[in-house]
Amino acid sequence: MVTAEAYHIPTVIVFNKIDIYSDEEKEELAFLKKSYEKIGYPCLVVSATEKTNLKGVIEIMKNKVSVVSGHSGVGKTTLLNTIEPDLNLKTSEISEVHKAGKHTTTFAEMFELSFGGFLIDTPGIKAFGLIDFKKEELSHYFLEMRVRLKGCHFNNCLHINEPKCAIKDAVADNEISEFRYLNYVGMYNDDEDENYRGLGY
Ligand SMILES: Nc1nc2c(ncn2[C@@H]2O[C@H](COP(=O)(O)OP(=O)(O)OP(=O)(O)O)[C@@H](O)[C@H]2O)c(=O)[nH]1
Ligand SMILES: [Mg+2]
Ligand SMILES: [Zn+2]
């Protein structure tokens, strides 16, 4: 999402596989959906296999060039197959051993959509690959931070240790989600062990 923001690509978040969420996962979904919608990201909650809520996906993709991105196994290709059954693209089950996808899609490919537009299916994201930009710019790509940057006392504030920081204040006031701030700090530190995910997102 940070990379998309850096390239001015509008992001829509798709939560897939709602047919198999546990009650706990449904609660997590509600929390994440609320958090992201508050920032301004449209969220869609779908099931590619059960064909639930796919109308919204089609509406968003119509007459545009879209790219689907996400971890291996989340169902990016399945979603595309459901929307355009004639494509019949290869998908595979998640590994029982590793509980992760198998990197079935191996290169990005663009397909024409019968209702107008194009969709680029991509291989699952393996590791965090941020485009090359200055650390000082990172907060510009967190929408909820960008709108508050002017409130920081120092105009080169990094929102880590500086006093009178509008971002840290907003986190303390629950206006910015803690997990998003922790993601920011993690990316800022280029943390490899992912402990920064904090709440687990
Ligand atoms: N229960 C359920 N399973 C789904 C859904 N969408 C996809 N799957 C399953 O998830 C597995 C992975 O789907 P893929 O479409 O191959 O995932 P992908 O995101 O394209 O994975 P990569 O190509 O490896 O990046 C397959 O077994 C799908 O059948 C869904 O809505 N519900
Ligand atoms: Mg795929
Ligand atoms: Zn600040």
Domain ranges of the chain: 2-121, 135-197
- Measured CA angle at 130 (ends 102, 16), to 5 deg: 45
Those residues with Cβ within 8 angstroms of residue 181's Cβ, 6 or more apart along the chain or in another chain: 167, 168, 171
Please say whether the beta carbons of 16 and 54 come within 8 A: no
Q: Can you give the pLDDT at residue 50? A: 97
pLDDT digits (tens, 9 = 90+) for 92-149: 888 777 778 878 888 899 999 999 999 999 988 765 556 667 788 999 999 999 999 9
pLDDT digits (tens, 9 = 90+) for 51-61: 999 999 999 99
Q: Can you give the pLDDT at residue 200? A: 35
Mean of the per-residue pLDDT values of the chain: 89
Superfamily of chain region 2-121: P-loop containing nucleotide triphosphate hydrolases (3.40.50.300)
Q: Is residue 80 in contact with ligand 1, taking CB distance under 6 Å?
A: no
- State which ligand 1 atom lies nearest to the alpha carbon of 106: 23
Q: Can you give the pLDDT at residue 128? A: 52
CA of 129 from ligand 3 middle (Å) equals 24
- Report pTM: 0.89
Q: Architecture of domain 135-197 in CATH?
A: Orthogonal Bundle (1.10)
Q: Is residue 47 in contact with ligand 1, taking CB distance under 6 Å?
A: yes
